[in-house]
Structure 1
Amino acid sequence: MSADWGPVIIAVALFILLSPGLLFQLPARTRVMEFGNMSTSGISILVHAIIYFCILTILIIAIQIHIHF
């Protein structure tokens, strides 16, 4: 019996990629979107959290990604 690592790997990868300011920031301080500015705001954190939740839910519940080692 092996553990299902799919949700863990997907969650960690999305958390890293969707960190506000790392790759992009939506909404940015001066524009709608900025790339690689490494700064953040409260509304940006909220928007990225909603995007993270939606993508994670789609990948894990709807598509049912499973990774067994």
Structure 2
Amino acid sequence: MADWGPVVIAVVLFVLLSPGLLLQIPGRNRVVEFGNMQTSGLSILVHTVIYFGLLTIFLIAIGVHIYTG
């Protein structure tokens, strides 16, 4: 049986937290900008920290598992 939980969680978080796709923290003109598709180095860093924090919470603290078989 394969555990697909980490793969699914990582892909979903990657898509949702791509800077500029849904939102960007910090934005160029405001703290949060929605759907502007422009990124900066600081925005990439902030989204990376949020991504790894949420990934750690979901995989280690909560322990999400999806088994196929």
Unmatched segments (≥5 aa) in structure 1: none
Q: Which residue of 2 aligns with 1:51?
A: 50
Q: Does the alignment pair 1:41 with 2:44?
A: no
What SS class does the counterpart of residue 22 from structure 1 fall into? coil
In the TM superposition, 1:1-69 aligns within 5 A as 2-69=1-68
Between the aligned residues of both structures, percent identity stands at 69
How big is the alpha-carbon RMSD for the aligned residues of Structure 1 and Structure 2?
0.3
1:13 counterpart letter in structure 2: V
How far has the Cα of 1:28 moved from its partner?
0.4
With the length of structure 1 as denominator, give the TM-score of the two structures.
0.97
Where do 5+ consecutive residues of structure 2 fail to align?
A: none
What TM-score results when the alignment is normalised by the length of structure 2? Answer: 0.97
Larger strand proportion of the pair: 2
Structure 1 consecutive aligned stretches of length 4 or more whose deviation exceeds 4 Å = none
